[in-house]
Amino acid sequence: MRITVLLGGTSAERDVSLASGSRVIAALRERGHTVTAVDPARGVMTDAAIRDALPSGVQRAWPTQASLARLRAQSLGPALGMLEEVRGADVVFNALHGGEGENGTTQAILDAAGVRYTGSGALGSAIAMDKDLSKILFRAAGVPTADWRMIPVDESRVIADLGLPLIVKPSKQGSTVGLTLLRDATRLREAIALAQEHDDEVMLERFIPGRELTVGVLGDTPLPVGEIIPKNELYDYEAKYTAGMAREIFPAPLSPSEAQTVQQHALHAFRALKLRGYARIDFRMMNDGTFYCLEANTNPGLTDLSLIPQAAAAAGIAFPDLCDRIAQLAASGRGSGEGQ
């Protein structure tokens, strides 16, 4: 097939997307596909340009707001859908993470261009990116999720309602960008200000102590459950993209009943948010065995440290085959965002 991979973009997860996209390109070529790379911020990219854009891999911190603003000023925007490399592709493989690549904006552009693309459609992507709306739908579908509030809030009341420690994070962001684990109520405004650098809508969420679990969904099938044990307390941006900062175990050491329960929660969450193709659903498991859904990732990372490739490997699916399956789902219309 002729496949165009979208990578880079203008979100805080740009570096992660470049790392994912370059790996996807190599995998799809290994499976015999003709692959072109397009960065919505810069246009068609050669392999050399991709290497130059990410010379030493994903950095320990996300790009600065100033650097991202410069990229947004020159981005293709709706003109992305007019590129021949996009319109003439059999499938567009969306390896963008966060921002316009994952919030439904790029999906709407691709819908308007009439092309098939990997992952969820505009509606599902927008719903999943909005953590407030996602949690409302999780609860409606019977998927447990932690209590939360959205700003503006009564600061004294929210601490009484949700307790400490408390998670403060942008409502529409990924990779824990702008997230704070708040232990001191006097720093609440500081944590909110950090989150507001990335999104006007900020979520305050009850912290769930316990084990960090993740479930990938491919097509409509849950992959083996994974457990993440970060070196520090949180599985944050640095832990996700720095070798040695976290240990991932696939399959997770759970009983068959526990694994089945969290996989079913993941499927219910996947369907409640109207997702397609593939996604990753993240959970916390308390000591009493209760699971709490944290969020859904519609364009999960595909770097060499990412979780979906590890889950697929535990199911006997090599990375090139995983990328090929994702592309084939889109080509068949069963995992494509087109028309959603």
- Tell me how far the alpha carbon of residue 112 is from its chain's centroid: 23
| DSSP code at position 336 | B
- 205 in active site: no
**238 counts as catalytic:** no
Is 338 within the bounds of a domain? no
- Please give the Cα distance from 184 to 299 (Å, whole number): 33
Could you give the number of structural domains in the chain? 3
Percent of the chain with pLDDT over 70: 92
Give a three-class secondary structure readout of 298-333: CCCCCCCCCHHHHHHHHCCCCHHHHHHHHHHHHHHC
Tokens 């505009």, residue located? 122
One domain for residues 224 and 312:
yes
Q: Domain check: are 161 and 115 in the same one?
A: no
Q: Is 233 one of the annotated active-site residues of the chain?
A: no
Tokens of 148: 């939360």
Same domain, 158 and 289: no
Tell me the backbone φ, ψ of residue 339, rounded to 5 degrees: 85, 0
Tell me how far apart the alpha carbons of residues 237 and 16 are, in angstroms, rounded to a whole number: 10
Looking at the DSSP bridge assignments, the partners of residue 285 are 211, 291
- The model's confidence at residue 338, banded by pLDDT at 50, 70 and 90, is very low
pLDDT-derived band of residue 334, with 50, 70 and 90 as boundaries?
Answer: low
- Does any domain span residue 325? no
- 63 burial type by CB count under 10 A (0-12 exposed, 13-18 middle, 19+ buried): middle
Q: Among 206, 222, 239, where does a domain finish?
A: 206
Catalytic residue among 117, 235, 237, 241: 241
Instruction: Please tell me the predicted confidence (pLDDT) of residue 340.
Output: 40
More confident residue, 90 or 72: 90
pLDDT of residue 299: 95
Tokens of 255: 């009983």
Calculate the alpha carbon distances from 235 to 63, 205, 278, 331 in Å. 19, 16, 22, 34
- Among the listed residues 111, 205, 212, 295, the single catalytic one is 295
- pLDDT for residue 60 is more than 80: no
Q: CA nearest 172: which of 121, 134, 131? A: 131
- Domain end (from 157, 182, 206): 206
User: pLDDT tens digits for 239-264?
Assistant: 665 667 789 999 999 999 999 999 99
Q: Residue 271's CB: how many other CB atoms inside 10 A?
A: 15
Q: Assess whether 295 carries a catalytic annotation.
A: yes
pLDDT for residue 239: 60
Domain carrying residue 166: 148-206
178 annotated active-site = no
Answer yes or no: 236 catalytic: no
Q: How many CB atoms lie within 10 A of CB 237?
A: 24
Q: Which residues, listed in sequence order, are joined to residue 214 by a DSSP beta bridge?
A: 226, 282
| Number of CB atoms found within 10 A of residue 147's CB | 13
Q: Read off the pLDDT band of 339 (50, 70, 90).
A: very low
Average pLDDT over residues 77-95: 97
Whether 261 and 322 have beta carbons less than 8 Å apart is answered as: no
Q: How many residues does the chain have?
A: 340
Within a domain: residue 336?
Answer: no
Please provide residue 327's backbone torsions phi and psi, each rounded to the nearest 5 degrees.
-65, -40
Q: 114 and 161 share a domain?
A: no
Is the pLDDT score of 63 beyond 80?
no
Q: What is the pLDDT of residues 122-169, one digit of tens each?
A: 999 999 999 999 999 999 999 999 999 999 989 889 999 999 999 999
More confident of the two residues 237 and 4: 4
Query: For 10-19, 60-69, 262-271, 296-305, which range has the lowest pLDDT when averaged over its residues?
Result: 60-69
Catalytic residue among 276, 280, 284, 325: 280
**Active-site position among 75, 175, 299, 336:** 175
At residue 337 the predicted structure's pLDDT band, cuts being 50, 70 and 90, is very low
CA distance 330 to 256: 31
Strand ranges of the sheet holding 166-170, from the earlier edge strand across to the other edge:
148-150, 202-206, 166-170, 180-182
326 in a structural domain: no
More confident site: 58 or 108: 108
> In whole angstroms, how far apart are CA 137 and each of 41, 169, 264?
33, 19, 15
CA gap 112, 102 in Å, rounded: 16
Is 202's pLDDT higher than 50? yes
**What is the per-residue pLDDT for 238?**
63
Of 8, 9, 11, 13, catalytic: 13
What is the model's pTM?
A: 0.90
Mean pLDDT of the chain: 91
Average pLDDT over residues 38-51: 93
- Say yes or no to pLDDT of 266 above 80: yes
Are 310 and 270 in a shared domain?
yes
CA–CA separation, 259 and 265 (whole Å): 10
Is the pLDDT assigned to residue 53 strictly greater than 90?
A: no
| Tens-place pLDDT, residues 105-123 | 999 999 999 999 999 999 9
